[in-house]
Amino acid sequence: MTVSRRDLLVGLGAAMTGFGMAAPPDWDRLRRRLAGPLYLPQDAGYAAARQGYFTIHDGQRPAAVARCTRIEDVQACVEFAAATRTPVSARSGGHSYAGYSTRDGSLVVDLRQLAGIQLYPDGTAVIGAGAQLIDVYATLAQAGRLLPGGTCPSVGIAGLTLGGGIGVTARKYGLTCDRLVSAQIVTADSRLRTVSAVQEPELFWALRGGGGGNFGIVTSFTFQTAPATDLTVFALEFPAAALPALLGGWQSWPVPDEVWSNVSVPGDPQATTWVDGCFVGSSSGVQPHLDKLTRLVGTQPLARIVKQFSYFDAMRYFAGCSELSLKECRPNWTSDAGLLDRGAYVATSRMIGAPLRDPAATAALLRSSPGLTTQFDSFGGEIARGPDTAFPYRQSIASMQVTHEFDGTARQAIAHVRDETAREFGQTGYINYIDPHMPNWAQAYYGSNLAKLRTIARRYDPGRVFAFAQGLS
């Protein structure tokens, strides 16, 4: 039996009490509208369906998980959530650091079946919101194209793009959101809208860096890709004692747009520090730049690795999948049956807006707990020159992500680094590394764009259908 939208709304409206509170949702009514399955807590498959990437969120109990197989399923879920006042959470890859994509009592709209990737002769690619990065990279590379993006292979394209999209080729090609041409989004009124620079341009502006889940549920993205080229991967290992000089030298390292790098600092004071990165070009082209960094540090590295890869093989390298097949480079917690494990850590972030005043003091801070790992990703280049989008921190020197293996001291340890760093760089942060305990989170994540983003969120979601703890509506 087909249930019409009118029947759904009439039935739900009749369930409203005189106090304006909704009766318990009629999940069977929603189930009849969906082409894909709906999992409730009592259903077989619910435990697996509610799992995301992070083990620390396993205690969360969404009210239901809808595995959407078509856009109409997404529309039905949004319509149902609005009518029943049920919190709604979109899930693409399931990598929400704060667990908002599996939060208690919510209707989880699982988009992972909407994962199609189509490439056109003009270089544009239409990518379903549930596509994982490893599949995006593999499909584009087969056609000789690339899209700048992150390194974790099971991250969904939706969350990455909507938060900005920091990645290993961003200095050369820009953030992932900078490559966005248009998007299809289901808004709070359950309408499917196509937005672009000419169609609803303010909403399009907000989707490029304004954070996932704030304005609706995006079902597909159209990107302008770039020609794929070889990438040279490099890694330099420096002794523990060289960390202050390394931080000072790295932040002043003059490199062309083709060079991206990452400094990874373990919390153990005796551990060595690695500078990893890639160069858009041949291995011979990057060597002089690595020599210059070594001179700035004033210490010879303990190890120096330089290897030229094809674009896709470089992405596999950064994903930690060089020895795995494409099938194996997928999650082991979903029906994909890959070999990638889930995450068991907590994280936070800051944006580094100016050179470190005291690299030695920063080095000591980053080594304040053995379970810490801090990563600095270099900015500049095309990131700084990019288009006007909602991403607020284009002029940063770097982003800083702080992680800690999940134990009893983890939250306190990352908070110490986060809050001490704020004394120097202020209340900043990257929305894709969302931290449920971030002080002054709205200003930190949205910066000078906060007021405009809130206005847009209110316009498209006046009933706060997509409201969540660190959301804009």
Same domain membership, residue 65 and residue 205: no
Output the tens digit of pLDDT for each of the chain's 473 residues.
344 444 444 344 433 333 345 567 999 999 999 999 999 999 999 999 999 999 999 999 999 999 999 999 999 999 999 999 999 999 999 899 999 988 999 999 999 999 999 999 999 999 999 999 999 999 999 999 999 999 999 999 999 999 999 999 999 999 999 999 999 999 999 999 999 999 999 999 999 999 999 999 999 999 999 999 999 999 999 999 999 999 999 999 999 999 999 999 999 999 999 999 999 999 999 999 999 999 999 999 999 999 999 999 999 999 999 999 999 999 988 877 799 999 999 999 999 999 999 999 999 999 999 999 999 999 999 999 999 999 999 999 999 999 999 999 999 999 999 999 999 999 999 999 999 999 999 999 999 999 999 999 999 999 999 999 999 98
Same domain membership, residue 251 and residue 161: no
Report the C-alpha gap between 6 and 25 in whole angstroms: 16
User: Is 471 part of any domain?
Assistant: no
What domain range is 66 assigned to?
A: 5-110
Could you please report the per-residue DSSP string of 35-87? SS-EE-TTSTTHHHHT--SBGGGTT---SEEEE--SHHHHHHHHHHHHHHT--
Q: 343 is written with which tokens?
A: 């995450």
Question: What are the tens digits of pLDDT across the range 170-179?
Answer: 999 999 999 9
Under 8 Å between Cβ of 49 and 428:
no
Q: Among 110, 131, 157, give the residue marking a domain's end.
A: 110
Report the C-alpha gap between 217 and 220 in whole angstroms: 9
Report the C-alpha gap between 261 and 169 in whole angstroms: 10
Q: 388 is written with which tokens?
A: 């006007």
Provide the CA 86 distance to its chain's centre, in angstroms: 25
User: Is 453 part of any domain?
Assistant: no
CA torsion sign, 216 to 222 to 226 to 229? positive
Residue 254 is inside which H or E element, if any?
none
Question: What are the tens digits of pLDDT across the range 459-471?
Answer: 999 999 999 999 9
The CATH number that applies at residue 373 is 3.40.462.20
User: Is 213 part of any domain?
Assistant: yes
Q: Among 84, 110, 136, give the residue marking a domain's end.
A: 110
Same domain membership, residue 197 and residue 283: no
The CATH number that applies at residue 36 is 3.30.43.10
Longest dimension (CA), the chain: 75
Same domain membership, residue 254 and residue 271: yes
SS3 107: strand
SS3 462: coil
Number of domains in the chain: 3
Q: 191 is written with which tokens?
A: 């309408």
pLDDT at 334: 80
Report the C-alpha gap between 390 and 404 in whole angstroms: 29
Burial of 78 (0-12, 13-18, 19+ CB in 10 A): buried
Same domain membership, residue 45 and residue 104: yes
Same domain membership, residue 433 and residue 367: yes
CA torsion sign, 291 to 297 to 303 to 308? negative
Q: Among 75, 110, 145, give the residue marking a domain's end.
A: 110
Residue 235 is inside which H or E element, if any?
strand 231-238
Same domain membership, residue 350 and residue 256: yes
User: Is 463 part of any domain?
Assistant: no
The CATH number that applies at residue 125 is 3.30.465.10
The partner residues of 351 in beta bridges, in order of sequence, read 399
Burial of 290 (0-12, 13-18, 19+ CB in 10 A): buried
User: Is 468 part of any domain?
Assistant: no
Same domain membership, residue 391 and residue 367: yes
Phi, psi of 301 (to 5 degrees): -70, 150
Q: How many CB atoms lie within 10 A of CB 298?
A: 11
